[in-house]
Structure 1
Amino acid sequence: MTKLYYPVIRRSPLWLTATAFAFFGLNQSQAVTASALAQKLNLSIEQVTRIQSQNALSPESLNALPPEKLPELLRELGHQDLPRERAAFRLLQEVDEKHQIPPQPILTALKQLQELRRQIKALKVSGIPVGKVIVPKMMILPFTAGLNPNHTGWSNLGPTNIGGRTRSIIVHPTKPGVMWVGSVGGGVWRTDDGGKNFIPVNDLMANLAVSCMAIDPKNPNLIYAGTGEGFGNEDALRGGGIFLTTDGTTWSQLASTMKPEFSVINRLSISSDSKIMLIAVGRTDTSLGGIYRSADAARQTWVRQLSGDICEVAFHPTLSLKAIASGLSDGNAYYSDDAGQHWTSAKHPETWSGRIELAYARKNPDVVYASIDRNGGEIWRSSDGGKNYVKRSAVGSDGNVVRYLGEQGWYDNVVWAADPTNENKIILGGIDLWKSTDGGDSFIDISTWWDERSAHADQHVIASSADFDGVGKKAIYFGNDGGVYETEDIDTVGNDPDPPRVAGWVRLDNTYGVTQFYSGAGNTSSGVIIGGAQDNGTLCSVPSQRLTWTTMFGGDGGYCASDASDPNTFYGEYVFGNIHRSMDQGQTAEFISGQYWDGKQWSWKQIPYQITDAQLQQCNFIAPITIDPNNSNSVLVGCRSLWRTIDAKTPNTNATGPKWTPIKNSTGVNISATAVAKGNSDLIWVGHNNGDVFMTMNGTASAPTWVRINDHGGSVLPSRFCTRVVIDPADSKRVYLAFGGYTSSNVWKTTDSGQTWSNISKGLPQAPVRSLAIHPDNPRFLYLGTEVGVFASEDAGASWSPTNEGPTNCSVEELFWMNRTLVAATHGRGFFQIDLTAAGGASPAVPGG
C-alpha cells in the first residue's frame, strides 16, 4: 500500500448541506453539485457531505484531494469522534474502582517519587553498605537492576522529525530566534535559532503536560508554564499547577498552585504592568474551575473571581485594567474593567454555545475577535473591547460560509489578530488555517492538512515572531497536533494558485521529540523498531537513520508486535482492533483484520477472514496484539472476544487472507491485555478493562477452557483496568499483572499460576503502571514503565528503586528488549534505550520469589 499521511478522525452531527463545490478532475473554475460528485465517485450525497464536514475541506481542497487519499477519508466515516474516543480510552486507565481520579494525581505521584529518591540519597550518604545486609530489612537500599541512579545511560531514539500536540508557544520579546514551546506530553522545549534545533529544558520537570505559557512583560526572564490539558478531553491530561523559571531553563513549581483547583490550567495572562496574573482554570471532578487572580509579585495568593469552565483569559495589550475571557463549553464570553476583579457577560444578538476563543487586535485593541464552536465555526467581532459582538459573514471563495472548525472546535480552535498594521487581518485555526483581511467577512484557506508539505492538522496556538512588524518582518509560528510550523511571510503563505496550499510552510520539528506513543516493538535481527503514535500513525525507525522515522501506516497508531523469527514482518493497529501487517520492514502495510478497498468503497470480507469485533467496534480504542512466542504464525487480538489467527502471514486478497477465530467468548467487557507463555502455546492469560483475569491451559484447542482467577488464594485483585500481563519466560508459573489508576496496589505477582497472589507495589508511587519487562538473563530483575517514569527491582518485586530518574518524568507505555538493550516507548517524549547487558550477570541482591 502507498504510505499516506492521515489526520485525526472527526465526526459529529452534520452541518453541511448539498451545496455546489468543485469536482475531482475539473478545473478550479468549474463546479458541480454534491449529487454530481456523488455520482462520479459512486458515493451517496451523505458520504460526500460528511467527508467535507468532518475534515473542514474547502471546495477547492476537496477538488484537489489525490484519489488515493479518498479511501482513507471513507474509512474514517465509520468511526465516532476519535479525539474524544482516544481521551475516553486514556481515562479508563487512570480511574480507580469508583471511576474516580484523585485531585492532582500526577503531582501526588511525583511527590512520592521525590521522597523515595531523597530517602535513597540519604541512605547512600549514610554509608549503608551494598554488600552483606547488616541492617533491618526495612532499611535495605533498593537496587536498580543495572540502571544508574544519576540519570545517565539512556539515549534518545527519536523521532526527531515528527512532533506532537503543541498547545503553547512564546517568543522572547527582544531576542529573535529564542522561543519556548510547550507540549502536552513532553514538557517545555527551547530553541535559540528560530526552531532549527530544540532542546528540552527539563526532562524531570514535575509535570510535563504543558498547556500554556506566559512571559512577564517587564521581565522576560520570568516565564510561567501552566499544566493540565482541559480542552474538552475526557482524560484532560492532569496537571500540577503553575511552574516558573527565572533563567529559561530551570523550573520550579509555585507552591500556591499545589492544590486540586489548579489541575487544569488552560491559559495564563499577565497585565502589561506585570502586577496582575490571571489564569483560566478548567473544570475537573473536584473543582468548578474559573478565573483566578493573583496581585502579589510572588504569585502566592490566588482568588477565584469567576466560577466556570474557562478556556481563555487575556489582558488588554497596553491597558492593565481591561481583560477578556471565555468559556470552554457554555458559549459564554466576559470582559473586565478592573483588572479581573469583576466580570460582566458580553452581549451578542444570538445565543452562543460551545468553546469560544478570543483575541485582541494588536493594531486597535478595541477590536476583539471571537471564534465560536457553533455550526462548524463562526467568527464574531467586537468594536468596544469585547462588550458587544457582531457576527461576520465569513464567506469562502465559493460564496459559502467557511466551516473552519469542522466538527471538533472543542478540541482545536484558535484566532490570531496581532498584525500591528491592520486590525482587519485575522487568522483562524481549526483543522486547517484560514486568513481574512477584511475583518472576517471573507476568508481563504492557507493550509491543506492532507499534504505533508503543508501544516499538520488541528491548530492550537499561533504566535508572532519577536520582530513581527507586518511590513518587512512577517514570520509567524503555529502549534498543532504535528508539532511546530512556521511561515516567514503570513501575507504569502499558502498562496498557491490551486490547492494544496503548500507555499511558504516550514516544519520545525527538528529534534523536537514529543511524539506520544502507545506501544512499540523491535526486531533484534534487522534492528527495525516500530511504534504506534497518537495522531501520527504507526511509525518505523531503521538503524541507518535511527532518529528519522517514517510512516508505516497512517491515522492513530496503536499496539505493535514484531515477528522474532522474521526480520521483515511487523504488525500494527489503526484503532478498534483494525490490524495491519507489514512484510517489508515497515515500508508498507495493509489491513489483515478483514476490511478491504474494492476500488469504490470499503467492504468486509466474509467470516472467517475478519475480526468481527473490529467490524462492530467492540474493542478498546487501542486493542492488545500478541504474537505467540512459540509460533510466529499465531497472532492474538483482544477485543470483546479473544481472536486468533494461525496463518498470520497468509497472502492477502480482497476475498481471503488470515483466518480469524474467537477462542474466548465475550464476557461483555473488553480485553485489555494478553500474554502467551514462552515454550507453551497452550498457556494463555488475558486481562480485562474491569480487572477480570482469565487463564487457559489448553489454548491451542479450538474451544479452550478458561478459568477466572481474580480472587484465588484469598487475595482479591484490583477491579480496575488491567494494563499488562507478563508471564516469566523462565518459569511460566510466575506471572505479573499491572493495573491502571492513581492508587496503590498496581503490581501483583503469582508464583503458582494464580492460586495465590502477592501485592508487590510497596514503595511505588500511586500511579498507573503501563508496562513491565523481565531481564532476559536474570528473572529477578524487573523494570516497570509507569505514568511517572521507570522503576526497577532486583528481587522480583520485593523492593523497588526509582532507577536513574529516567528516561523522563512522562508516561512509559511500553518496555521491550533488543538483545540486552531495554527500549522504552513514552507518551510524550518518543523512544529511549539503555544497554543493560552487564546487569544480567549480576547476582540478585535480596532473596525474592
Structure 2
Amino acid sequence: MSRTPALVVVLCLLLTAPAAAQAPRWTRATPDGGWILALAQAPSAPETLYAAAQTGRLFRSLDGGASWQPRGPAVLAGVRDLVIDPVDPRTLYAMTGYPQPLRTRDAGRTWAPAGPGLHSVAALALDAEHPGVVLAATAGGLYRSLDGGDSWDLAAFAETQVAAVAIDPGATATLFAAVGNEGDPTVLWKSTDRGATWVETPLSVPAYTRGLPRFAFDPAHPGTLYLAFAVTYDFDSTGPVLRSRDGGTTWTELPAASGNLLNLAVSPRGDLFAATAYGVARSTDFGATWSPRLPLTFRFPGEPGDTISHVLASPTAPGELFAAGVTGVWHSRSGGARWAPRNRGLLAQGVYSFGLAPDAASTLVALGNGSVFRSTDRGTTWRRLPRTGAAGPPIWIEAFDPRHPETIYGLGSDGQADFPLVSQDGGRTWNKPRFPYNCHLAGSLCDVSLGRIAVDPHDPEAFYVSGSYFRHFGPSGSFLLRSDDGGTTWDKLAPLESIAALVFDPTRRGVVRAIGCDGFFQSGDGGASWQTAGRGLPRKLCTGAGLSLAIDPQEPRRLYAGTAEGVFLSTDDGATFRPMNRGLETAQITSLQIDPANSDHLYAGAAGRG
C-alpha cells in the first residue's frame, strides 16, 4: 500500500460572506520538525546551525537552535553532509547526490556546484588556518582547492578512490586520508605537511568492510582520534570503530562500539558520543564502554527515541549536544542524559495523514515520519506521542468514533497486506482487529490494499472498510465490508473499484459518498448500490497522489474533494464541483477534514508542499 507524504495546511472559509468577498486563503498548520538528513554548527559562530531536511530545504538557526528559518529553494535532495567554512558562517558546502558538492556563500539562499572537474566526491575538509583551502576525497584521487572550490588540482592518490579526508583541528598541518579502490583494502595515509607528502600507516581495513569512513578528533586529548566505518542507509551492518592515542601511528579496534552506528562526536571534555539508528550512546573511557550499551535496538533503544544520523558536541558549552533525527533536531544540555526537541520554525514534517476529533474541534491527530502527533489548539502547537503498543502506529489515520473521540481508526500494513488498526486512547497505542482478507499462507504473490475506513455517524458501532485483494492462485477483486462489533464479524456490501475516500451524510441515514479512480459516486442505501455524479471534477483522478472527501456537517449539501489538481467544492450535493485553490498553489491533496464545530475551518494535507 503506497501513501503519498504531505504537509498539513489550514484554511478558514468565510461561508457566510457575500459572494463578492475575497476567496478563502490557505495557511500552514504543519507540526514543527521533519526528517533531518544533515546538521552542522558553524565553527566561528557556534550559535549558528544549519539543518538539511529530507524535503531538500535548508534551515538556519542564529540562536543555538531555539528557532529556525528556511533558506532558499529546496535544492538539497539527498544531502548526507553539511560542511561549514571555519571562518565564514555564511559559506557552506552540501554533499548530495551530485558529482560535485554544492556551495553557497549567502547562507543557503543560492547554490552552485563547487568547481568543475570533480567526480563522485565522498568527503570535504576545510583548513581553518588557511581560508579558501578545501580538500576533496573523490573516486579519482585527493583534490585541493585554494579558492574555496572555484578550481581544483590533483593533490595525491591519482586514479585511486579516496573514501574520506580529515584535517586534525588541533594541528592543521596534519591530514588523514582513507584510500582504496573498490575490492581493495582501505588503507589510512597520513601527512604532516599539509599534503605535500604522505606516509602509509599500518592501518588497513579489509575490502569487505561496509560503511563510510568518518573521523572524529578529541579536543581534550591531543593525538587521540577515532575512525568509524559508519552505516549510511543500511542499518543492519557496520564496519569497525577504531581509536588511536598517538596521532594515528597505531590503532585499536573498539569492539564495544558496534551496531547501527551512523556518526561520532567528541565533546570538549573528551566524552565520545555515537549516533545510531536507535538513539545516542555515550562513552567516558575512550570508547571502551558505552551507556547505554551498544548496539542499541528497537527493544533496547537510547535517548532520544529517534533514528539519529548526526550528533554534534558544542565546542563552547560542555555537555551541550545537538542531534539530527527523523522527527527533527534534538538538544541536550546534560551530556545526552536528557533531550528535548528544538524545532520551532523548522517546517519540514512529512505529514501524510491527519484526523480531527469530532467533539473537540481544536484536537488534531497527524502522522508524520513514523510518528503520531497531537494538537489541542487547531494545529498551532503539536506534541509527538511516544511509540507504544505491539501493532505500532498506522500508516494512515482514517476516522474517529463520533461518540468516543479517543477511539481512532487507522490503516496498517505489513508490506504485503493492509489491515485496520484501532486506538482507544487518542493515538498512543494501536490494536489490530480480526480481518477476513490477508496474505497468511498465500506466499509472496499476494496483495491486500485498503482504500478507506469510515464510521457511520447514525450507527457508530458500524465501521466500513473498502479495498482490493489479489492472490496468484486464488480469487481477486474489490470489496466493501461493514462490521458492527469492532471487527469480530464482517458483512459484504456492493464494492466499487479503487475507493479512495468514503463519507457519510450526517443528516440523512444511508446516504454515502465515495471517490476513486473511476469517479465520484453516491449511495442512498448504505452502500448496497451506487450512482455516478461529480461533474466538474478532473477526468484523471488517479495520478499517483491520494484522493479525499469531506462533507460540511452544518450544510451537508456542501462537499469538498481533494485531488491531484487541488481542492474542489460542490454546493449541490455532489452533482457539480468547482476548484477553490487560492493560496494552495493547486497542490496534490491527500487528506481533507472539516472542523465539526466551525465548518469555516477546512484542513488539508497537500503532497510535498511546504
TM range (shorter): 0.5 to 0.7
Q: Is the 8 A contact 1:167 1:183 kept in 2?
A: yes
Which residue identity is paired with 1:370? Answer: A
Correspondence 1:657 to 2:488: yes
Cα shift readout 1:503-523 (whole Å, capped 9, x = no counterpart): 444443455444322222335
Which residue identity is paired with 2:438? Answer: T
Which residue identity is paired with 2:464? Answer: V
Q: What is the SS of the residue equivalent to 2:59?
A: strand
Task: State the shift of 1:271 in Å.
Answer: 3.3
| Correspondence for 1:591 among 421, 428, 431 | 431
Correspondence 1:199 to 2:68: yes
Distance in 2 (alpha carbons) for counterparts of 1:349 and 1:522: 54
Distance in 2 (alpha carbons) for counterparts of 1:277 and 1:245: 15
TM-score with structure 1 length normalisation? 0.51
Q: 1:201 to 1:280 in 2, by over 3 A?
A: farther
Correspondence 1:571 to 2:409: yes
Cα shift readout 1:300-346 (whole Å, capped 9, x = no counterpart): 45789999999865444343673435899989746565769999999
Distance in 1 (alpha carbons) for counterparts of 2:229 and 2:404: 50
Which residue identity is paired with 2:47? Answer: G
Correspondence 1:370 to 2:207: no
Task: State the shift of 1:547 in Å.
Answer: 0.5
Please, which moves more after superposition, 328-337 or 371-380?
A: 328-337
Which residue identity is paired with 1:675? Answer: A
Q: What is the SS of the residue equivalent to 1:218?
A: coil
Distance in 1 (alpha carbons) for counterparts of 2:494 and 2:202: 60
Task: State the shift of 1:580 in Å.
Answer: 2.3
Distance in 2 (alpha carbons) for counterparts of 1:271 and 1:340: 14
| Correspondence for 2:253 among 349, 369, 392 | 392
| Correspondence for 2:352 among 507, 518, 521 | 518
Distance in 2 (alpha carbons) for counterparts of 1:222 and 1:202: 13
Q: 1:429 to 1:728 in 2, by over 3 A?
A: closer
- Aligned position for 2:342: 508
Q: Is the 8 A contact 1:269 1:315 kept in 2?
A: yes
Distance in 2 (alpha carbons) for counterparts of 1:790 and 1:443: 49
- Aligned position for 2:241: 380
Distance in 2 (alpha carbons) for counterparts of 1:467 and 1:309: 36
Correspondence 1:244 to 2:79: no
- Aligned position for 2:603: 823
- Aligned position for 1:436: 283
Distance in 2 (alpha carbons) for counterparts of 1:813 and 1:567: 25
TM-score with structure 2 length normalisation? 0.67
Correspondence 1:360 to 2:216: yes
Task: State the shift of 1:614 in Å.
Answer: 8.7
Larger RCO of the pair (alpha carbons < 8 Å, separation 6+): 1
Task: State the shift of 1:370 in Å.
Answer: 2.0
More strand by share: 2
Mapping for residues 751-762 of structure 1, pairs under 5 Å: none
Q: 1:522 to 1:703 in 2, by over 3 A?
A: closer
Q: Is the 8 A contact 2:186 2:207 kept in 1?
A: no
Distance in 1 (alpha carbons) for counterparts of 2:180 and 2:606: 32
Which residue identity is paired with 1:638? Answer: G
Which residue identity is paired with 1:189? Answer: F
| Correspondence for 1:322 among 175, 181, 185 | 175
Distance in 2 (alpha carbons) for counterparts of 1:619 and 1:414: 38
More helix by share: 1
Which residue identity is paired with 1:467? Answer: T
Q: Is the 8 A contact 1:206 1:240 kept in 2?
A: no
Q: What is the SS of the residue equivalent to 1:445?
A: coil
Cα shift readout 1:530-561 (whole Å, capped 9, x = no counterpart): 2222221x332223784133539754542222
Correspondence 1:467 to 2:320: no
Task: State the shift of 1:574 in Å.
Answer: 3.9
Task: For structure 2, list consecutive stretches of 5 or more residues without a partner in the other structure.
Answer: 6-21, 470-476, 533-537
Distance in 1 (alpha carbons) for counterparts of 2:73 and 2:479: 40
Cα shift readout 1:742-762 (whole Å, capped 9, x = no counterpart): xxxxx6xxxxxxxxxxxxxxx
| Correspondence for 2:50 among 169, 172, 180 | 180
| Correspondence for 1:222 among 73, 91, 97 | 91
Q: Is the 8 A contact 2:47 2:64 kept in 1?
A: yes
Q: What is the SS of the residue equivalent to 1:543?
A: coil
- Aligned position for 1:295: 145
Cα shift readout 1:13-47 (whole Å, capped 9, x = no counterpart): xxxxxxxxxxxxxxxxxxxxxxxxxxxxxxxxxxx
Mapping for residues 310-349 of structure 1, pairs under 5 Å: 314-317=166-169, 318-319=171-172, 322-324=175-177, 333=186, 347-348=203-204
Which residue identity is paired with 2:577? Answer: P
Q: Percent identity?
A: 12
Q: Is the 8 A contact 1:773 1:816 kept in 2?
A: no
Q: 1:686 to 1:507 in 2, by over 3 A?
A: closer
Mapping for residues 66-105 of structure 1, pairs under 5 Å: none
Q: What is the SS of the residue equivalent to 1:275?
A: coil
| Correspondence for 1:646 among 458, 482, 491 | 482
Distance in 1 (alpha carbons) for counterparts of 2:116 and 2:488: 55
Task: State the shift of 1:367 in Å.
Answer: 3.6
Cα shift readout 1:718-761 (whole Å, capped 9, x = no counterpart): 9x9633346898999x99964xxxxxxxx6xxxxxxxxxxxxxx
Which residue identity is paired with 1:591? Answer: N
Q: Is the 8 A contact 1:392 1:441 kept in 2?
A: no
Cα shift readout 1:342-397 (whole Å, capped 9, x = no counterpart): 999995364543223421323445744223559855533264999888552524xx
Distance in 2 (alpha carbons) for counterparts of 1:320 and 1:180: 27
Q: Is the 8 A contact 2:230 2:239 kept in 1?
A: yes
Cα shift readout 1:90-145 (whole Å, capped 9, x = no counterpart): 8x99xxxxxxxxxxxxxxxxxxxxxxxxxxxxxxxxxxxxxxxxxxxxxxxxxxx9
- Aligned position for 1:773: 567
Distance in 2 (alpha carbons) for counterparts of 1:371 and 1:456: 23
- Aligned position for 1:118: none
Q: Is the 8 A contact 1:185 1:514 kept in 2?
A: yes
Mapping for residues 418-457 of structure 1, pairs under 5 Å: 418-419=266-267, 422=270, 425=272, 427=274, 429-445=276-292, 454-457=303-306
Q: 1:198 to 1:217 in 2, by over 3 A?
A: same
- Aligned position for 1:532: 367
Task: State the shift of 1:467 in Å.
Answer: 1.0
Task: For structure 1, list consecutive stretches of 5 or more residues without a partner in the other structure.
Answer: 1-85, 94-144, 229-237, 282-288, 396-401, 494-502, 595-608, 688-692, 708-714, 739-746, 748-771, 793-801, 803-810, 831-849
- Aligned position for 2:14: none
